[in-house]
Amino acid sequence: MIELADAAAEICRRYALEFADEEERYGEAWMPWCRHDTQHILNWAALDVAGFDDLDRQLDWLWRVLAARDFPADRLARCVEVAAEVMRQRGENDVAAQLASAAEELGGRL
């Protein structure tokens, strides 16, 4: 079983190191929202691996929502890439591979 909350917290911690302007840009709520959205991304990836959902479809939806809110699109791609790294380090190789593939597809949109 994947511990979504713990993994999401680590992903957002690493993301914050790269994008230190998030709190200034979005206020105190940015980290809870980062964890929230990242937990969904991890869940979608796990469900995709199990054959119950489509990570790319879900990320396409999230991309459009965030773009409508003027969120820098390249940051979503990087967040998914970091998620793949963290999940690989946690031994969740199938989920990591799914995330890495999705990050590459998102990066191709830029």
- Alpha-carbon gap, residue 23 to 2, rounded angstroms: 28
* pLDDT beneath 50, residues of the chain: none
Identify the residue whose tokens are 């796990």. 46
Q: Where are the domains of the chain?
A: 4-107
Q: What is the pLDDT of residue 110?
A: 67
Q: What is the pLDDT of residue 88?
A: 98
Q: What is the pLDDT of residue 107?
A: 86
pTM: 0.94
Cβ partners under 8 Å of residue 55, min gap 6? 41, 44, 45, 47, 48, 98, 99, 102
Q: N- to C-terminal Cα distance for the chain?
A: 33
Q: What is the pLDDT of residue 92?
A: 97
